Structure 1
Amino acid sequence: MSDAIDLAELRQEFRAVLDAETDAGRVRRHVHDGGAFDAALAATVAGLGWAGLGIAEADGGLGLGLPALAVLYEELGRGPACLPLPSTLLVADALKGAPDAVRAQWLPLLASGEMFATLALDLDLPPGDRITARVPHVLHGDAAGLYLLATTDGRHLLLPRQAAGVTVTPTPAVDRTRGMAVLDLHEAPVLAVPVDGSALCRHAALAVACDSIGGAEAILDKTIEYLKIRTQFGQPIGGFQALKHRVANHKLRLESARALVAMAVQVAGEDGGARSLGLAHLARAQAADAYVTIADDAVQLHGGIGFTWEHECHHYLKRAWLNRLLFGGEDAALDRAATLLTESAA
């Protein structure tokens, strides 16, 4: 399938499904139930083929590129969707250069939605094809059936959940729309696969950035609607000048981050060098910061109801905070962006 696809139409399709499947009540019920992911949403997504969006047609997918994935990541962030789909798409994309046997074994399972996958970056793991180690803070580790472990010395190790010596322990996270887990490995067999490490880091950074843009936009829109209907002193509080200014500043912050993310996605398709990776890290840092700032003030702007744990503001705020911490965190992303963009400009 060609990348020449109408992204606006694709966005409308994603949003129509997710608006119906990720309403506030459903997200709240999932959070209270404490499941690894929304199984009903996963079934819907599998039937629509979203898990194969970025996988080549020869490997059972739809063969779309990063711009289409970026749209999907944004729309999943708007929900916020309780689904380990971005991590699965990240692993699937990383495996596109793997040997034929590896792709044939795993990519059809990922493309069909039969199995989820996830990754962990910057790990200090011992050498060898059998690993004994503890891997903490694995995003969606409790939902995945396949793990891609990227080490600080440049190795990329594939690990099935069902392999001998693998113990998965779900752990609590600030963001209960997504799961976390600890992997305890005891002589667990791993398979080293060829992966473009820079491309994987760039894709991971952009996935976080796009999720942040989608979530920030959603909670800002919900806040604006609330300000239109909440009355005080006989008029909607949205008419108060001070609140107008706060919302306008948030809108400016969001659009600035959105423009940077859009440029990073475009450059990633044109240049695989230091500049594209630096822009991805910078976009991720700015988008995550905007998300935290907007979501935090949304609680304040919703007043007393916003402070209750039951309100959806807290789902967005907690997701925003986890986005800020993922894959090395915001400070590390800024440091990497500064180094890479300086290098590319030299």
Structure 2
Amino acid sequence: MSESKLRIGITQGDPNGIGWEVILKTFADPRMTELCTPVIYGSPAAAAYYRNTVEGLEEPVFQSVGSAREARRGRVNLVPCGETSAIEPGVGSAEAGRAAVEALRRAVADLREQQIDALVTAPFDKETVHSAEFPHTGHTEFLAAELGGEPLMMMCSEVLRVGLATIHIPVAQVSASLTKDRIMCCLDWLRASLKQDFGIVEPRIAVLALNPHAGDGGLLGREEEEVIRPAIVEAFERGVLAFGPFAADGLFASGGYARYDAVLAMYHDQGLAPFKTLSPDGVNFTAGLGRVRTSPDHGVAYDIAGQGKADPASMRQAIYAAIDIVERRRRWAEWTRNPLQPFERDRGGRDVSVRDLPDTEKEE
């Protein structure tokens, strides 16, 4: 249990998707407010609508607040924003997209000002949110623009962690986007996050190939020999415990991924398809930012929206992960604030901490 009662911001996502349903089901359990102080950014009207779609739901009692500064411990706080003229479960619309973006912008402003300790985002529809005012292809890209840093999309569970070298781009552009420098940077970011965000002393990282059979020595593609392998070798020489490139099917089918602390995939579906198969309640974490952001690993699920069928497990896991990562980062900052100075012998001088042996103890 978190003794600090971290303030965790949660956005409503698309009001026509399953975001509100998984939020309501999550906070129907009163124990959630013992773990953190939740601050939900979204529409009170949408919350009321979805309360009526879930039969037998123990309704959380919302505390309406003007901002995260007013959030009360032990309550489910709601910052009203992101209203729409009508709620239409399962229907993608520009108005629903605008409401999702409004809630996200309000939450990110509080995150930037440290009024909340971490952000958990319910899913939105990338097509409906995209506009001249929101030209981003997803949450990750928007957070990078707003918060700075070098974002790395990472999928996390108790079973597996997968980082992505490329994120939301067409498959036809993947090969051209993969450079030696790009892969080396991703390995550096992944290693840093595994150390400070997950408490792994020196992580081992498996790197996937791009082509079938890891290119078969160049027969099925040259990216492995010309880009991926050189990046792994140089990263290893710099201290990153990176290994590969491995054919994705072999690494996952054989269970070989379990020997590593994380896997670096070359493109979105190469990493997410096996991850979601092995980890149905996984979490999407944006590593490399100065602030902590997580989300459930599912989308808006228009096909079941408004039917009371949505599973809140991934939303709960996203909240747990946000709390854990914030606390690990704080501990990491304490541990690394005043590192021990190197010994004299490490600087090439005489080690004054070791006394001269008496003549009787010296070797003959």
TM-score by length of 2: 0.26
Higher helix share: 1
Query: Over alpha carbons, which structure has the higher Rg?
Result: 2
TM-score by length of 1: 0.27
